[in-house]
Structures are given as structure tokens and as C-alpha cells.
Amino acid sequence: MTAPRSLPRELLHLAWPVLIAQAAVMANGVIDTLMAGRLSSLDLAAVGIGTSIYATIFVTAMGVLLALAPVVSHHFGAGRFEEIGADVRQCAWLALALSVIAVVVLKHPDPLLSFSRLTPEVDLKVRAYLDGMAWAAPGALFFRVFFGFTTGIGWPRPVMVFNLLGLALKAPLNWVFMYGHFGFPVMGAAGCGWSSATIAWTMTALAWAWCRRDAEYAPYAVFARFDPPRLSALRELMALGLPMGATFLVDVTAFTFMALFIARLGPEISAAHQIAANIAVFVFMVPLALGSATGVVVGQALGAGDSRRSRHAGLLGLAVGCAAAMILGTAIWLGAAPLARAYTTDAQVAATAATLLGIVALYHLADAVQAVMAQVLRGYKRATAPMVIYAVALWGVGLGGGYLLGLTDTFGPPLGAAGFWIAATASLALAGAGVLGYFLRISRAQE
């Protein structure tokens, strides 16, 4: 058997393709925000609000499917290759069920839109955007099955290639759909949704065609046979995936309802919040990629029975994540004003966004800690305790505290959007401390 790489080399080997892949995904959102912002503040607000609603549904479903990655990494570490293919086939059934739910909810967003009290103009644009994104969700979910499979076996480069392809298509397709070229109607903000749907299905079709033909995947026999849904296998995936999905639901709903409540302050404030959120999400790709790589190393080490290596991998991932977060946070702090102006020509929106970006600089550091540690715990197949920690921190401190600080005079004059960002930063710091403490306890107990 080949000796495992040193931990720094293994993390680098896994993290850099995931980082580029995630950067490509986040860049799609940046392109949508920039192109919508050039149309009008109404289109920018519609994309921001619509993205928040889509993220609530998609990220929750994606969280359930991400159970595949730790399951695959444990099988890989233990050399159980044929079981990997069987679990991939079962996860595809799970993706199908989740896709049906996602389409139905995105086609009927009234319960979520009721929180925003939108003007009729913005409401119409948000619904049109979500109509396109409803068809993006199934393609993106089936691509996530491929993501969990190929990253779990330690080969994330194909995901990077397909995400870069999607990024290359994003601006041209936005141009076609948003502005009505080549016979398509002028869609405005809604065009972002339809371009995303086109890209999602293109990437998914190419990814699974690649998987079927490439020799690297042959040992796992994903296409060796057709498997109907098996309750025992689905139960194992959902035992880990449902708490993970619930954790993502807590995370994304806190962020979504933050956007929906801020929408009450008007389209200009909502647009400024969207700029700050877009940058926060974009820099989040660094700890997300690092956490993904660390979680795979942890899972493979545990599958091979090396608990000491798994603990050391978790601590190394945390240290690198914090160092990167301090660098990025400083860059956001220093560049807040020019970053905001790059997104919009509206001086008032840019000024408000620059103020929010000062808070985002601190928010990102707290975000990095929880992002790495949450994915490390998934490598340990621990998801229930983190779910409880996130619910208390993000819903209680983050969303509840944000509402009190931002929209009420409970603690003094309402702080508006800044109040929500301050509370969100405090909530992530609390969540990060909770999952870090839990990791230190369980990893020490397994050594």
C-alpha cells in the first residue's frame, strides 16, 4: 500500500481544486450581482432576495446529499470500493426526491415572500427569477452527488473543471437571457435564473458522462448495474444527511431571513446588503474549500483506523483557515469603499455597502472557524450536536438579535442592516466556539 502523503501536502492536494471550483461557483453570483446592478437597484434587490430564497431551499437539500462525501471517504480509507458505487446510486435516488420538493417550493414562494413586504415591482421580479432557478435546482443537486463521490475518493479536479466551464458560460448566457438576444425575450433579473438552469444541467450531463467513461472511476462500478431504492442504504445516508441538511437550513435561513427583514428598509438598503452578502459569500469559499479537504482527510484517516491523523488534520485545517481569514478580513476592511463602488453606480447604495463591509471583515473570521470545524465533524460522521449548536447560535443570537438591533429600539435607535450584521457576527463566533469545543472533545476521546 502506498504511504499516505504528509498532512500539509494532502490538504493542499485536495483543497486547491475545491477552492478554484468554489470560486467559480461564487463568481457566478458575483456576475449576477454585477450585471443586475447595472440594470437597476430593483433588479439588484430582486436577485439578492431571490438568491436568498433559492439558497434556503437548495442549500438545505444539498446538505442532505453532502452525507455522501464522508460515507465515501470512510469506505475509501477502508478499501471498500464496491460499496462506494452502491452508495452513489442510492444517493441519486435521494437527489431525485429532493429535486421534486425543491421545484415545488420554488414555484410557490409565497410563504417566504410574505416576510419581505415587497413592493409589487420587486415582488414580480423575484418571482420571475425564482421561476428559472426552480429548474436549476435538480441539475445542481445531481451534480452535488457527483461532487460528494469524487471528492470523497480524493479526486476533486473534475469538479473544478466543470465549475470553470459553468463560469465561462455564465456571463454570455446572462447577456442572452437578460437583454433578449438571439430571439429570446428581455428578462432582466429573471435571466440570471434561466442562465443558471442551463448551466446546471450542462454541467451535470457532462460530469456523469465523464464518470461513465473515465478509467479513474472504474474501480467503484457506479454504472455496473441499476439499483432500486434500498431502505437500509437510504436510512444510513439520511441518518447523517438529515442533521446536516437541518444544520444548513439553520445557517441559510438565518441568512435568508436577514435579507428578507432588511428588505423592509427599502430597495436601496436591500441592494447594499446584497453587495456585502455577495462579498461575504465569495470569500467564504476559502474556508469552505479548506474545510471540505480537511473533512475528506479526516474521513479517510478514520476509515483506515488512524484517529491520531484525523485529529491532527482537523487542527491543521483550523490553523490554516484562521490565518487565511485574517488576511482576507484585513483586505475587505481596507478596500471596503472601492469594493462597494465596483458593484453599483448609486452613491448612496455604495456608501451603505461600504459601512456593512467593515463589519463583514470581522464576520469572515468567525465564519472561517465554524466552516472548517463543521466539515471536520462531518468527517467524524457527527452532525446532530452541531445542528443544535447552530440552531441556538444562528437563530437565537443571529436572527433574533439582528431583528432587535436592526428593526426595534430595544437597545437604542434601530441600527438597520448594520444591526443584523453585528448580530450575525456574534452568532457565528458562538457557533464556532461550540463546534470547536465539540471537536476537541470527541477527537481526544478517539485517540
Q: What's the confidence (pLDDT) of residue 10?
A: 77
Query: What percent of the chain has a predicted confidence (pLDDT) above 90?
Result: 30
Q: Which residues of 326-358 are buried (b: 16+ CB within 10 A; e: fewer)?
A: eebbeebeeebeebbbebbebeebbebbbbbbb
Alpha-carbon dihedral sign for residues 379, 382, 387, 388? negative
pLDDT in tens, 357-371: 999 999 999 999 999
**CA distances from residue 199 to 24, 28, 154, 172, 366 in whole angstroms, order as listed:** 12, 10, 25, 11, 32
CB 268 within 8 A of CB 417: no
CB 54 within 8 A of CB 253: no
Q: What's the confidence (pLDDT) of residue 140?
A: 94
CB 358 within 8 A of CB 336: yes
Q: What's the confidence (pLDDT) of residue 1?
A: 41
pLDDT in tens, 117-161: 677 777 788 888 898 899 999 999 999 999 999 988 888 889 899
Prediction pTM value: 0.78
CA–CA gap between residue 295 and residue 317 (Å, rounded): 9
The values of phi and psi at residue 168, to 5°, are -65, -30
pLDDT in tens, the chain (447 residues): 445 567 777 777 777 888 888 788 878 877 887 787 777 777 777 887 888 788 888 888 888 898 898 888 888 888 888 889 899 999 999 999 999 999 998 988 877 777 666 777 777 888 888 988 999 999 999 999 999 999 888 888 898 999 999 999 988 998 988 887 887 877 777 888 889 999 999 999 999 999 999 888 888 888 988 889 888 888 888 888 888 888 888 887 787 788 878 888 887 888 888 888 888 888 888 898 888 889 888 888 888 888 888 899 889 999 999 999 999 999 999 988 888 888 777 788 888 889 999 999 999 999 999 999 998 998 888 888 889 999 999 989 998 999 899 888 888 888 888 999 999 999 999 999 999 999 999 888 776
CA–CA gap between residue 58 and residue 251 (Å, rounded): 12
Identify the residue whose cell numbers are 430597495: 267
Least Cα distance to 373 among 351, 360, 389 occurs for: 389
The values of phi and psi at residue 187, to 5°, are -105, -20
CB 88 within 8 A of CB 220: yes
pLDDT in tens, 80-127: 888 898 999 999 999 999 999 999 989 888 777 776 667 777 778 888
